[in-house]
Structure 1
Amino acid sequence: MQRKTRFVCVSDTHAHSPADGCFKLPAGDVLIHAGDLTKQGSLSELRRTMDWICKADFEVCMNETGLIVSVVRPVKHVITEMMNFSALFLPGNHDITLDADFYAKHGSSFHWQNTQDPNECIQVVTRSSPSVVFLQHQTAIVRLTRATGPRTIFKIFGSPFSQFKGNWAFGYDSADARALWSQIPHDADIVVTHTPPYSHCDRNADGHPVGCKVLRMALGNVKPLLAVCGHIHESRGYERIRWGSSSPGNGNQHPLELQTTPGTLPPMGSKKQNLIDLTGKKGEGLDNDGFAIRNVPGVLFSLESPSQSILILPSASSQSSASPDDKDEVQSRQNGCINNPMQQEIQSRRRETCLVNAAIMATSWPFKGGKRFNAPIVVDLNLPVWGEVNGG
């Protein structure tokens, strides 16, 4: 059985909030923030941002300064087992204090008059609420448990990394891109990255595509239901991508993009909700029911507490201690092939992805003509009900 689950997507709020009147936060089940919470990651900016995220009445909230998922039920801050949670979010390149290694090298060039303490800044994010979970380039299984909610389940991957001109946090070299993005699980239902993929919602103010080509290839291998990004303010919007087969017969190791259909949203300033309905109720439904739950071990459903909400999975990057099977899985991701029969079945059901650039800031520095703001993008998605799934 499936139920509609409403995702409210934002990114690049840069220390602005609903309290400022810059944007209004619609109601929903899950809040996703795809990074750049702040302008330069100061402690005061992070406190203001976490304040509005923690007060948001969502069962789950996700943020890209790492990845925060926020739920409205207080719980212990434990990130190694299933738990209730209030927010899930990741950082972006402007959230410099949340990248401790970067800040140790370059922090003084940003905050030379008032150096920040990265540990204190990270604690503001991770301890601002007992119901907030912070992820950085990690995967989680999320189960919505609120009695009045949809009670659905999904697998999500979130990463703060991006490429850019200049000296900012969470960057990576092109030579490392393949190893980085091959860590996205093949069965991730939702992928949240700060950076967009190349040629999809990634054109800068000059009209040039600046997204990551390797991420584009990785998304084609995974074919998630929903991909959320930000980073490029001028390319806010959405596209629906229809995938072809990646079988050897088509002469291409990676899936083909058969068609990309740009979406239409209400103009800036409109009072209409910026809604993308993928359920089929008000338009064409998403052609993708390859849910990760088909590949989740049955132990997930034998948990003692039915209120437990999130399972954070081990990182795929720790190959040194990985089993041979795990190493084979990482290698298969890098090669763009899938050997697991269950994952092959999931992939065969994944024929379309909705990609959303959810940038709230509509303009970039130096903000010629002043700052302008977009509305959050709301996505309705059918997901499996966890209480009625038995692993099949």
Structure 2
Amino acid sequence: MTKWADTGGNWKLHSSFWFRIVFIADGRSGTSSPPKGPEHLRFVCLSDTHGQHRELSSRLPPGDVLLHGGDFSNDGSLEEVMDFAAWLRSLPYRHKVLIAGNHELTFDQSYGGDRVKDSTAANSVRSAFLKSFNSSHDGITYLEDEELVICGVRIYGSPWQPEFLDWAFNMPRGAIREKWKAIPSNVDVLLVHGPPLGRGDALLPSLKRRGCMDLLFEVQDRIRPQFCVFGHIHEGAGVTFDGTTHFVNASSMNEHYQCIHAPLVFDIAIKQDGLQDT
């Protein structure tokens, strides 16, 4: 499924070269993002806020699109997800795009683990969350193996990850590659919850890597996005680059569940065909 959105502006293709750089929005001199030209979309990235999203309210920089890489709750409870929805609605970004993570137990309709006792009640949480905002007015889009296009910039979101204890959106390693194969080639921004192998995926103190090899293969061999945004491994927060794709671990919390990591920011040039988005 492809979802379409429009910024409502009269944008023209920017003809000059634009350096694709990820900035740390922590207020330090020389680190916060520079002024944005009118021919670009500015993305502000968060992930793994685990119910502490309001701690970030005063630290969010201006932008056009807010991305959240999942784990916005601790267990997907109704109180948590509805508070997160209310917070999203209050934010001034024209577009707010999110996926679920392994902690959003009530969002995984295939979940059969022991952490959720009542599947009917779980489905009602997901439904209440989705009904709590008007996407055309609030600008909120929840993606689950779906694509969203904003001014020609293609964003694809998927919540799956290799099996990780008894949490949501788990798939066995190897079998999960079918999810990654379903991602269209040449999307501009790939929003997933867990990292590709070797990219912001090292656990502390062991430095054991938990990333997905199949995801890394699809990203580097076929999809080739400008940016791959994720979270899940809190201590891996930061950015790496392979010459084609910036790998952005946007985890807001550290490994001690302290909400200390600043939002990460990047710009993408609006594309010519984005003028026709509706």
TM range, normalised to the smaller chain? Answer: 0.7 to 0.9
* Aligned counterpart, 2:74: 39
CA contact (8 A) 1:197 1:212 kept: yes
Cα pair distance change 1:56/1:33, threshold 3 Å: same
Determine the C-alpha separation between the residues in 1 that align with 2:253 and 2:273.
Answer: 36
Distance 1:197 1:178 in 2: 12
- Residue matched to 1:84: none
CA distance, structure 1, for counterparts of residue 155 and residue 90 of structure 2 = 23
Match of 2:252 among 348, 360, 363: 360
CA distance in 2, matches of 1:377, 1:26: 9
Equivalence for 1:204: 203
Equivalent of residue 17 in structure 1, options 24, 33, 53: 53
Q: 2:262 aligns with which of 375, 387, 392?
A: 375
Distance 1:22 1:233 in 2: 19
Q: How many residues align?
A: 235
Matched position secondary structure for 2:59:
coil
**Structure 2: which 5+ residue stretches go unaligned?**
1-12, 15-38
How far apart, in 2, do the equivalents of 1:61 and 1:168 lie? 25
Distance 1:141 1:17, change over 3 A: same
CA contact (8 A) 1:8 1:377 kept: yes
TM-superposed CA distance for 1:154, in Å, is 1.1
Does the Cα contact within 8 Å between 1:13 and 1:360 map onto a contact in 2?
yes
Deviation per CA, 1:6-32: give whole Å up to 9, x if none: 1000000111123x4687221100000
With over 3 angstroms needed to count, the CA separation of the structure-2 counterparts of 1:97 and 1:29, relative to structure 1, is same
TM-score normalised per structure 2: 0.78
1:127 aligns with 2:135: no
Q: What is the letter of the counterpart of residue 13 of structure 1?
A: T
Structure 1 runs not aligned, ≥5 long? 64-89, 143-151, 243-351
Alignment check: 8 A CA contact 1:126 1:133 kept: no
For residues 382 and 130 of structure 1, the distance between their equivalents in structure 2, rounded to whole angstroms, comes to: 27
Secondary structure of the corresponding residue to residue 242 of structure 2 = strand
Indicate the SS of the match to 1:379: strand
Larger RCO, structure (CA 8 Å, separation 6 or more): 2
Question: How far apart, in 1, do the equivalents of 2:120 and 2:59 lie?
Answer: 30
Q: Structure 2: how far apart are the matches of 1:57 and 1:21?
A: 14
- Report the aligned-residue RMSD: 2.2
Shift of 1:383: 2.7
Please state whether the residue corresponding to 1:6 is helix, strand or coil.
Answer: strand
Query: 1:25 & 1:157 partners in 2: Cα distance?
Result: 23
- Which letter does structure 1 place at the counterpart of 2:142? F
Alignment of 1:174-193 (within 5 A): 174-193=173-192
Shift of 1:195: 0.7
User: CA separation of 1:187/1:210 partners in 2, compared to 1, >3 Å: closer, same or farther?
Assistant: same
Q: Does residue 62 of structure 2 align to residue 27 of structure 1?
A: yes
Shift of 1:110: 3.3
Letter in 2 for 1:177: I
Which residue identity lines up with residue 359 of structure 1 in the other structure? S
In structure 2, what is the equivalent of residue 299 of structure 1? none
